[in-house]
Structure 1
Amino acid sequence: MKTEKNIKQSILNSIAKIYDQGDCCNLSSEFFEKIEPELGVLSEYFQTTNNQSLLIAMVFAFNSKGETLNLNDLNSYFHSNPMKLLEYSDDFDFLHQTGILHKEQAKNRSRISLTSHKFTINEKITEAILQSKQIPDLKPKNIDTIYDLLEKLGKLYDSRDEEKISTAQLFRDFDEVINNGRHFPLIANMNKYDLNVYDTLLFLYLIWQVMNGSQSIMIGTVLEVIFDDVNERMQYMQEINLGKNELITNKWVELEKSNFFNYTCIELAEGGKTLLSESEINLFSNEKKSSNILYPEDILERELIFSEVEMHQLFLLKDLLKPEKLEEMQKRLTSKNLPKGLTTLLHGAPGTGKTEIVKQIARETGRAVMKVEISQSKSMWFGESEKVIKRVFTDYQAFAKKCKLTPILFFNEADAILSKRQGIGSSNVAQTENAIQNILLEEFENFEGILFATTNLIANLDSAFDRRFLFKIRFQKPNVSVKVRIWKLKLPVISNSECELLATQFDFSGGQIDNIVRKVDIRELIYGEEVAFNQILDFCREETFGESRVRIGFSNG
């Protein structure tokens, strides 16, 4: 690897050779002799030992097939003695600690740590290799401030919530972080009180959420993440509800009671705010990025292709969002006593680019996006509907005041809250959905910012929302001419006639075409050679969910 130009080919060829030779190799000395040059290439690039380079190659290859890798996968592939692979435990630990590999908790847990995890390659490494660049800096961020510590704890909580780590691992890592941060005034002040580990984690997680724009957290949801034992969880929650918990008696937090036990929330009380002030923490001066905020500089540029009708509407919308145009439009609307909010509904078939075009418009107009993923957090909307809905809009207003340009409020996959209201006497869930929609209608009526919503089910749209959306843009599945252009953009190596054949034979959306392109890239990653057109046709047939499933082609046969 003397020049950056040949990094991609050199690394991918080495990984492919190691992967091919590894099949049923039993980790024999002959196997290592055959792949010694390739291990040398990887070791030079990653600055690792040969054993570590072997593990990197196997994880990369498995990931390229869309699979994670665990110890059982390696045992099966190598046909080796399980005890032999346990000798690589220190190498796995090193690769995880240096950031080259990510590890997650496996569903089938084992008492042996190494066998209870599955591994993936760091995405930054994949990107660097594909762009023929040197390995990026993967050093973990130092905990230099209390904000770094709280961010670290927030990420630990998320990892447990997503079952990437066990509860035991959560508290081991939590204890290590707290010990390393005991010199911070907040941790030192908290250590003066008789708090157990659950109190400490709960309070610090609440602070982290408040720093990211939330006013409270739902106690039941958090405790499900940090307690494995149901009885212990219910006992702890009962203590909080009865006001017997240290956080309550110290007046650090206070309850927001709910009709439903599991929907009770806690928020910072005056005592907690005083503690933060005494610990030199100003919640309103920290500029940490919230997970539901997407900034224009973080959005990757993507070229999207639509029909002429769709492009005409989208260009009009994009031009209108230019700062001078938007300001002029809002002044005109205000002078005529008309609502000045810019609300847009994007509707149509899945995979037609509705979500991506919102991001691209935000990128091109320099606006941040506040995302509301309803389908992913629907449980939060029931039982606390009025509070949660109103908080979305109050949080947006507060965020807008911090932004130079008016941000976009984005309701993605909003089918659940835009559908037709149900009659009196319906179920409790239906009544809650009706309440949500009534609040939304009121908020839309008085909205003064920029709002986008997407839906796949326009036929179910409640008629009351019709006039609340200033623009309604329909996205249709691309016709043949549009699909030809998409195929050519995504796979420039295939001929125009091949693009026409694919566009005519397969009625794909843009999202489905992306799936085919990803499969092509995966095969090229493994073999370092262009994929034949017949293989692309096979991928297309797989995408249509035919009667028989075809294994993704990672063999040369």
Structure 2
Amino acid sequence: MEKNSKEKLLECIGKVYEKAHLSKLETSFFEEVDAELIYLSDYFGISKIQSLIIALTFVKNYKGDSLDFRDLIKYFDCNPMVLLKYSDNFNELCDKRILDKKKSRHSINLTYSNDQFTINERVTNAVLNNEPMPTIELEGSNDVLSVFENIFNLVDDCGRNELNSRYVFNQTNKLIEANLHFPLIKKIADFKLEIEDTYFYCYLIWKTLTGKEKTDIGVTAENIFDRAIDRVNYIQEIMFEENELVIRKLIEVEEARFSNDSEVKLSEISLNLLEENGLKLFAKKKK
């Protein structure tokens, strides 16, 4: 970066923010701030439209609030459909951990309507300290229990009003990769399961470790998949023993009249795997 990059970055962010007001996201706006967006893109290592998102989030955060879609629609004075064309960019910025996302509890339950965004503190620190854009990776956990807890809690990070399976699976993959120094996590990674199976398995492990021997398959699938069709397909795959977790005898199914009411639990193979890796399970009740 050139000398005084802090001042240049803040100048570009400020100009993009000011020019974006009531711009309706028209072509003329992008042409007017093209140089600034290019500069921001070069620094952050992202696209120009993502740099626009970062600029507005940056300013909004320093005004003391998070940024959401309603803010943007009002600020741009644009048709919501215009903004939704760029929605994937928000997901990409969250996947890169440049943006952090939380959920609000608005009454309208629509995709993206409850998302609230803030800039990752490491990014703002880099800008304000005149430092290069940091490489942001998930840090490894200090103990293996925290890994399973963090994976389990990904659903809560999304917020139950609007689950985002893509986010859950991407973050699960990153958490697994960041914690391969734990033999148990390395063993799970070596299974080379599909990411939804890896999450399901880790979810079930955490439930078991916290004293829940059996878990309702319907509730579990609902906590993982945001689309009903994906939930149904996944449940059917398990019930017909076509899922890798069942095929490899890592989980067992206790069937009920309706598949959604059936329960799943870790198999003896999986329970032994946990104990072999130093995880003490709750004692079984005597008959």
TM-score, normalised by the number of residues in structure 2:
0.61
Output the CA distance in 2 between the equivalents of 1:123 and 1:63. 11
Asked if the contact 1:23/1:77 (under 8 Å) is kept, the reply is yes
Output the CA distance in 1 between the equivalents of 2:94 and 2:167. 16
Aligned twin of 2:205: 203
Output the CA distance in 1 between the equivalents of 2:146 and 2:71. 33
Which of 61, 73, 76 in structure 1 is aligned with 2:71?
Answer: 73
Output the CA distance in 1 between the equivalents of 2:161 and 2:151. 10
Aligned twin of 1:17: 15
Aligned twin of 1:131: 129
Aligned twin of 2:30: 32
Deviation (angstroms), 1:123 = 0.9
Aligned twin of 1:282: 278
- 1:113 is paired with a residue whose SS is coil
Aligned twin of 2:2: 2
Q: Against the structure 1 CA distance between its residues 121 and 109, is the aligned structure 2 distance closer, same or farther, given a 3 Å change threshold?
A: farther
Asked if the contact 1:199/1:246 (under 8 Å) is kept, the reply is no
Counterpart check, 1:154 vs 2:149: yes
* Structure 1 range deviating more: 21-30 or 57-66: 21-30
Output the CA distance in 1 between the equivalents of 2:166 and 2:40. 35
Output the CA distance in 2 between the equivalents of 1:88 and 1:66. 25
Q: Against the structure 1 CA distance between its residues 23 and 246, is the aligned structure 2 distance closer, same or farther, given a 3 Å change threshold?
A: closer
Output the CA distance in 2 between the equivalents of 1:40 and 1:84. 22
Q: Against the structure 1 CA distance between its residues 247 and 93, is the aligned structure 2 distance closer, same or farther, given a 3 Å change threshold?
A: closer
For residues 520-535 of structure 1, what are the structure 2 equivalents within 5 Å? none
Aligned twin of 1:60: 58
Asked if the contact 1:186/1:276 (under 8 Å) is kept, the reply is no
Asked if the contact 1:26/1:81 (under 8 Å) is kept, the reply is yes
Asked if the contact 2:95/2:167 (under 8 Å) is kept, the reply is no
Q: Against the structure 1 CA distance between its residues 116 and 206, is the aligned structure 2 distance closer, same or farther, given a 3 Å change threshold?
A: same
Deviation (angstroms), 1:142 = 8.7
Output the CA distance in 2 between the equivalents of 1:31 and 1:172. 31
Aligned twin of 2:43: 45
Deviation (angstroms), 1:141 = 5.8
Q: Against the structure 1 CA distance between its residues 163 and 109, is the aligned structure 2 distance closer, same or farther, given a 3 Å change threshold?
A: farther
Q: Against the structure 1 CA distance between its residues 246 and 123, is the aligned structure 2 distance closer, same or farther, given a 3 Å change threshold?
A: same
Asked if the contact 1:75/1:82 (under 8 Å) is kept, the reply is yes
* Structure 1 range deviating more: 119-128 or 9-18: 9-18
Aligned twin of 1:411: none
Higher radius of gyration, 1 or 2: 1
- 1:69 is paired with a residue whose SS is coil
Letter in 1 for 2:82: K
Asked if the contact 1:59/1:69 (under 8 Å) is kept, the reply is yes
Q: Against the structure 1 CA distance between its residues 275 and 89, is the aligned structure 2 distance closer, same or farther, given a 3 Å change threshold?
A: same
Q: Against the structure 1 CA distance between its residues 177 and 160, is the aligned structure 2 distance closer, same or farther, given a 3 Å change threshold?
A: closer
Which of 164, 169, 179 in structure 1 is aligned with 2:164?
Answer: 169
- 2:164 is paired with a residue whose SS is helix
* Structure 1 range deviating more: 12-21 or 125-134: 12-21
Letter in 2 for 1:203: I
Aligned twin of 2:237: none
Output the CA distance in 1 between the equivalents of 2:105 and 2:221. 17
Deviation (angstroms), 1:94 = 2.1
Residues 340-382 of structure 1 deviation map (CA, whole Å, 9 limit, x = unaligned): xxxxxxxxxxxxxxxxxxxxxxxxxxxxxxxxxxxxxxxxxxx
Letter in 2 for 1:2: E
Q: Against the structure 1 CA distance between its residues 206 and 136, is the aligned structure 2 distance closer, same or farther, given a 3 Å change threshold?
A: farther
Asked if the contact 1:154/1:205 (under 8 Å) is kept, the reply is no
Deviation (angstroms), 1:139 = 3.7
Aligned twin of 1:120: 118
Residues 278-312 of structure 1 deviation map (CA, whole Å, 9 limit, x = unaligned): 4xx2359xxxxxxxxxxxxxxxxxxxxxxxxxxxx
Letter in 1 for 2:153: D
Output the CA distance in 1 between the equivalents of 2:62 and 2:185. 43
Residues 62-93 of structure 1 deviation map (CA, whole Å, 9 limit, x = unaligned): 11112111111101001011111111123222
Letter in 2 for 1:157: F
Residues 26-75 of structure 1 deviation map (CA, whole Å, 9 limit, x = unaligned): 12233223322322221121122221111110111111112111111101
Q: Against the structure 1 CA distance between its residues 175 and 153, is the aligned structure 2 distance closer, same or farther, given a 3 Å change threshold?
A: farther
Asked if the contact 1:159/1:165 (under 8 Å) is kept, the reply is no
Asked if the contact 1:128/1:134 (under 8 Å) is kept, the reply is yes
TM-score, normalised by the number of residues in structure 1:
0.34
**What is the count of residue pairs matched by the alignment?**
224
Aligned twin of 1:337: none
For residues 13-412 of structure 1, what are the structure 2 equivalents within 5 Å? 13-108=11-106, 113-140=111-138, 147=144, 151=146, 153-161=148-156, 164=159, 168-169=163-164, 173=168, 177=172, 184-185=186-187, 201-204=203-206, 207=209, 247=265, 272=271, 274-278=272-276, 281-283=277-279
Output the CA distance in 2 between the equivalents of 1:79 and 1:173. 32
Output the CA distance in 2 between the equivalents of 1:247 and 1:57. 47
Residues 228-267 of structure 1 deviation map (CA, whole Å, 9 limit, x = unaligned): 79xxxxxxxxx9xxxx96649x689xxxxxxxxxxxxxxx
Q: Against the structure 1 CA distance between its residues 188 and 7, is the aligned structure 2 distance closer, same or farther, given a 3 Å change threshold?
A: closer
Output the CA distance in 2 between the equivalents of 1:53 and 1:96. 13
CA RMSD of aligned residues (A): 4.4
Q: Against the structure 1 CA distance between its residues 31 and 129, is the aligned structure 2 distance closer, same or farther, given a 3 Å change threshold?
A: same
Where does the alignment leave 5 or more consecutive residues of structure 1 unmatched?
208-215, 220-224, 230-238, 253-270, 285-557
Asked if the contact 1:62/1:68 (under 8 Å) is kept, the reply is yes
Output the CA distance in 2 between the equivalents of 1:187 and 1:49. 32
